[in-house]
């Protein structure tokens, strides 16, 4: 994601901030928190890096190629700084947490390195740089949730937005850097989440996605350590804000998603019938090496329960091909699981060893690159076929769609998503962004449904 601009500049803005965000939706939400903190100190966001007084790159460490992309971008920014020597350059997020020393030593242009729990300290760090020092804060916190900070919505379509409900992760999957870059799990107070959602709803937003590394383990506790609000109860609180406010969430963990969550989704039509349900591997031994704490039969059982309670639920997943010591037979288990699961779509990757993780310390990355790639392509082939079949099955049916804007290919077409998170494209005619419409699906591709509006929906 390239430079992003706030919907409205602060009235006291005297300097320009440019932010580039890479990686997941959590990073997008973090960039919005940073923009809010900076707005309070007189900065407005700009989409033009050459206008910026401060440049921040918010980074991702989930895979090696994600970090390689950032290193390449920093080399490009070096040329920008030569043209404007007073420009302050900072690296934020997971790479900052993981590679603080290397960032300062390898790229001399970097002035500030800030981890995900230290964003409140950015104004002070900028002052240090202006006094001639490099500035670093990568301390992880057990309490920080940025609960009372109202994010500045960046590059917003005015229809959909994210709300971070928790930070960190306690799961310690052996392949994952998140517990090391984002710290231990902690949840925001539910009233601060509901308040943020209500503000967005009043501003005209029609869809909110609740974000967490594992939303199912959300829990608000009182001073006695008693759980006073779990994730199902939080979903209900947000859903009650209005029938025309769509609610989504990401991500779930197979070991934690509860029947209570499923029945809450069934109870409220405005909670979308869509669950991101990461598999990672279809083989029980590999899952144990990954420290996923469930086996293939457990995953199947929970998948079956989702479809029992929510027969029309869209389900997506994640998978890693070629994890340490994975045999050909174990890879076949993953292929079988993809045939069984019939996921609407999937995020599919080769294993990429991340330094410092449990897997990097315990297991050899012993699957050759060509084998990893071949296994990944076999997974992709199955998923592409399933996605096409599921979409083709929707031809002739009517979908409820929230219009998000123009399609990527034409300003004569609009796009939105149905309840199951599938993209739907249709002629623009007189319809407007933010409307709900019913679309008759006339044809389908592997990635989207195409049709025409037959009815506008009024609430």
The answer to whether 225 and 249 are in contact (CB under 8 A) is no
* DSSP at 426: E
Mean pLDDT computed over 297-318: 98
Whole-Å CA distances, 197 to 31, 245, 275, 336, 395:
18, 9, 20, 40, 34
Percent of the chain predicted with pLDDT > 70: 97
249-287 pLDDT, tens digit each? 999 999 999 999 999 999 999 999 999 999 999 999 999
Please check whether residue 103 is in contact with residue 111, taking contact to mean a CB–CB distance below 8 angstroms. Answer: no
pLDDT at 204: 95
pLDDT number for residue 83: 87
403 close to 456: Cβ distance less than 8 angstroms:
no
State residue 4's pLDDT score: 47
Mean local confidence (pLDDT), 301-326: 98
- The candidate with the shortest Cα–Cα distance to 401, out of 372, 435, 448, is 435
> What average pLDDT does range 328-345 have in this prediction?
98
Q: Is 368 helix (H, G, I), strand (E, B) or coil?
A: coil
Give pLDDT, residue 82: 87
11 pLDDT tier (thresholds 50, 70, 90): low
Structure tokens at 449: 């449904």
Considering the entire predicted model, what is its pTM?
A: 0.91
Q: What is the DSSP string of 223-247?
A: TTS-EEEEHHHHHHHHHTT-TT-EE
The CATH code of the domain at 15-137 is: 3.40.50.12160
Residue 120 per-residue DSSP state? G
- Listed in sequence order, the residues at least 6 apart from 386 whose beta carbon sits closer than 8 Å to its beta carbon are 338, 339, 342, 343
Name the architecture of domain 398-457.
Beta Barrel (2.40)
Handedness of CA 278, 283, 286, 291 (dihedral sign): positive
**pLDDT above 90 for 319:** yes
Nearest one of 408, 259, 280 to 343, comparing CA atoms: 280
Q: Is residue 109 predicted with pLDDT exceeding 90?
A: no
pLDDT in tens, 286-295: 999 999 999 9
Give CA–CA dist 326/324, Å, rounded.
6
Measured distance between the N- and C-terminal CA atoms of the chain, rounded to whole angstroms: 34
Fold classified for 160-392: pyruvate-formate lyase- activating enzyme (3.80.30)
- What are the domain boundaries of the chain? 15-137, 160-392, 398-457
Q: CA 242 → CA 198, 203, 419, 438, distances in Å?
A: 9, 13, 16, 19
Give the model confidence (pLDDT) of 14-54 as tens digits.
Answer: 899 999 999 989 999 999 999 999 999 999 999 999 999 99
Range of lowest pLDDT (56-65, 220-229, 311-320, 430-439) = 56-65
Topology agreement, domain 15-137 and domain 398-457: no
Mean pLDDT along residues 227-236: 98
Q: What radius of gyration do the chain's Cα atoms show? A: 22
| Interval 143-182: pLDDT, tens | 999 999 999 988 778 999 999 999 999 999 999 999 999 9
What pLDDT does residue 39 have?
94
Q: How far apart are CA 455 and CA 173, in angstroms?
A: 46
Q: How many CB atoms lie within 10 A of CB 24?
A: 19
* pLDDT greater than 70 at residue 304: yes
For the chain, the average pLDDT equals 94
Q: DSSP letter at 167?
A: E
What is the DSSP pairing of strand 398-406 with strand 436-444? antiparallel
Q: Tell me the C-alpha distance between 97 and 81, whole Å.
A: 23
Q: Give per-residue pLDDT as tens, 378-404.
A: 999 999 999 999 999 999 999 999 999
Cα distance between residue 443 and residue 455, in whole Å: 18
Band (101; pLDDT cuts 50, 70, 90): confident
| Residues 436-445: tens digit of each pLDDT | 999 999 999 9
Q: Taking residues 319-339, what's their average pLDDT?
A: 98
**365-379 pLDDT tens trace:** 999 999 999 999 999
Statement: residue 5 has pLDDT above 50: no
Q: Residue 167: beta bridge partners? A: 186
User: Percentage of residues in the chain with pLDDT exceeding 90?
Assistant: 88
């Amino acid at each position: 994601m390239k430079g992003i601009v706030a919907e409205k500049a602060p009235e006291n803005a005297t300097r320009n901030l440019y932010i580039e965000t890479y990686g997941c939706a959590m990073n997008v939400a973090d960039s919005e928190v940073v923009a809010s903190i900076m707005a309070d100190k007189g900065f407005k966001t700009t989409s033009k890096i050459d206008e910026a007084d401060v440049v921040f790159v918010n980074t991702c460490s989930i895979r090696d190629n994600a970090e390689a992309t950032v290193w390449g971008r920093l080399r490009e920014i070096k040329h920008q700084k030569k043209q404007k020597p007073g420009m302050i350059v900072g690296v934020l997020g997971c790479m900052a947490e993981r590679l603080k020393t290397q960032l300062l030593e390898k790229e001399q242009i970097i002035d500030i390195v800030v981890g995900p729990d230290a964003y409140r300290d950015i104004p002070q760090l900028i002052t240090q740089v202006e006094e001639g020092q490099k500035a670093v804060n990568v301390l992880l916190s057990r309490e920080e949730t940025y609960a009372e900070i109202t994010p500045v919505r960046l590059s917003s379509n005015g229809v959909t937005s994210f709300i971070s409900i928790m930070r960190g992760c306690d799961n310690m999957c052996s392949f994952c850097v998140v517990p090391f870059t984002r710290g231990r799990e902690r949840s925001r107070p539910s009233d601060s989440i509901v308040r943020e959602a209500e503000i967005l709803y009043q501003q005209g937003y029609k869809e909110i996605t609740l974000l967490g590394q594992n939303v199912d383990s959300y829990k608000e506790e009182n001073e006695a350590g008693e759980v006073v609000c779990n994730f199902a109860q939080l979903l209900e609180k947000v859903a009650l804000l209005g029938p025309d406010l769509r609610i989504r969430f990401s991500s779930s963990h197979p070991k934690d998603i509860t029947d209570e969550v499923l029945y809450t989704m069934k109870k409220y039509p405005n909670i979308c019938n869509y669950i991101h349900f990461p598999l990672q591997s279809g083989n029980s031994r590999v899952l144990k090496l990954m420290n996923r704490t469930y086996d293939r039969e457990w995953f199947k059982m929970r998948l079956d329960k989702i479809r029992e309670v929510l027969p029309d639920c869209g389900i997506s997943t994640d998978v890693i091909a070629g994890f340490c010591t994975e045999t050909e037979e174990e890879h076949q288990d993953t292929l079988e699981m993809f045939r069984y699961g019939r996921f609407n779509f999937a995020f599919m990757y080769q294993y990429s060893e991340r330094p410092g993780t449990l897997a990097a310390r315990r297991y050899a990355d012993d699957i050759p690159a060509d084998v990893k790639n071949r296994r990944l392509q076999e997974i992709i082939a199955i998923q592409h076929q399933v996605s096409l079949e599921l979409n083709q099955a929707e031809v002739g049916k009517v979908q409820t769609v929230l219009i998000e804007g123009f399609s990527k290919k034409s300003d004569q077409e609009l796009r939105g998503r149905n309840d199951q998170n599938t993209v739907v494209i249709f002629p623009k005619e007189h319809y407007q962004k933010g409307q709900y419409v019913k679309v008759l699906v006339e044809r389908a591709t592997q990635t989207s449904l195409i049709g025409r509006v037959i009815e506008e929906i009024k609430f």
